[in-house]
Amino acid sequence: MKNKNIYLDNHASTQIDERVYKEMIPFLTNIFGNPHSDSHSHGWILNKFIDLSRLKIAKAINANKEEIFFTSGATESNNLVIKGLAFSQKKKNHIITCVIEHKCILESCNFLESIGYKITYLKVNKFGELNVNDLKKKINSKTFLVSIMHVNNEIGTIHPIKKIGEICKKRRIFFHTDASQSLGKVSFDVNYLNLDFASFSSHKIHGPQGVGCLFIKKRKDVKLTPLFSGGGQENGLRSGTLPTALCVGFGQAVELIENERIKTTKKIKNLKNIFLKILEKKKINYILNGRNTVDHNINITLLDNKNEFLFSKLDDISLSAGSACGSGSGEPSYVLKEIGLNKNKANSTLRIGIGKKNTEKEIRYCALKISKILSNFN
C-alpha cells in the first residue's frame, strides 16, 4: 500500500461518485443560465433539471417533491429549522434536543438560549443511547420542537426516531431529525418515521460539496422565518440562485446510494468484521463504542495504547481521532465525554468511517498497521 493514502473518514465527507460527476459536467459547461429566469428557455431547462433532482430525492425518502427545499448543506438546513421555527413562535419557547447532536444543532440552540428560549438537552447512556421516557418527561406546554439526529456522526448510534416521532405527533409537537448520516446506510421513510423536518447533505453520500436539502412536511401550521432576505427562491424560504450542477449531482447521488444500499451495506458489514477480527487475532485490547450502530462506523478505544503519537504514525491513513487535536486543545470530543470516556481514553479513540469505495486490502492494511504500532510501543 506504499505511496497511497487510504481514506477512512467517510463520515466527514466522501469522494464524489464518477457517475455523479459525469451527470454534472453538462451543467458546468454547455447547459447554463439562471434556473429562476422564467422568461426564456435557458431558465426553463435548468429549472426542469432541478425539479427532476427534487423528485429523485423525494422518491428516495417517500416524500413529495414540493416538500424538498435545496440548501447549501445540512448545517444550513438545521439552522433554518431550529431558528426559523423558533422565530415564528408567538407563545411557545421550548426545544428538546440531545447532548450528542451535531455542533450546528447545539450551537443554534445555544444561540436561542442566549436570547431567552428554553432548551432541554437529553443525556445519553454509555452507548450513546437516549431514553425515550426522559423525553416524555421533559415535554411541557411550551415545547414546540424536538430535534434528535437519526444516526450519530461519531459513534454511529441509531436513535429510535420512529418512537420519538409518534410521541411528538401525539403531543402535536414538531419533530426534526438531522439525517446527514442516514441515506445509504439505513432505510429512511419520512412518513413511517413520523417526521415534520429532515436535513440532508450531498457530500456525505458521494455527491458534490456545497449542497443539501431540507424536507418540510406539507401541513398548514408549518411556518419558518427565513434566515436571510433576497429574491424569495425556494418558496420564499431560502433566497439565492440555486447551483444547478450541484443540485443535479445531489439528486443523482441520492438515487445511486439508495438503489445500491443493500449491496453496499452488506459489503461494508463484511469489511467491519474483517477489521475487528484482525484486532482480536493480534490480541488488541479495545472497546467498540456505541450499540445498535451503523456498520459504516467503527469507533474504538484502544485500552492498551501508551503511545501519544499513535495517530501521527498513521500518516498514510486518513481517519478521525477522538480528541480535538486539530484545534490544538487536545480536549476530548464532547460526544466521547458524554458517553463517559475520560481524556486518556478519548485520546486513544479513533473513528474509522468505511465507505463504498474502500477495499478489503485497505481495511486489512489499516488493522494490521494499528496492531503493529501498538505492539511496538507496549
Grid cell, residue 255, equals 438515487
Catalytic residue from among 98, 104, 325, 366? 325
Annotated catalytic, 104? Answer: no
Coil, helix or strand at residue 293 = strand
| Of 138, 82, 77, the residue nearest 110 (C-alpha) | 82
222 Rama sector, left if φ>0, alpha if ψ -120 to 50, beta otherwise: beta
What is the rounded distance in angstroms from the CA atom of residue 350 to the CA atom of residue 155?
10
**Chain centroid offset of residue 34 CA:** 29
In whole angstroms, how far apart are CA 42 and each of 30, 36, 244? Answer: 11, 10, 12
What is the rounded distance in angstroms from the CA atom of residue 253 to the CA atom of residue 257?
6
Specify which residues 174 forms β-bridges with: 145
Those residues with Cβ within 8 angstroms of residue 78's Cβ, 6 or more apart along the chain or in another chain: 102, 104, 105, 108, 147, 176, 178, 199
| DSSP 8-state secondary structure symbol assigned to residue 86 | H
What is the rounded distance in angstroms from the CA atom of residue 246 to the CA atom of residue 211?
6
The set of catalytic residues is 325
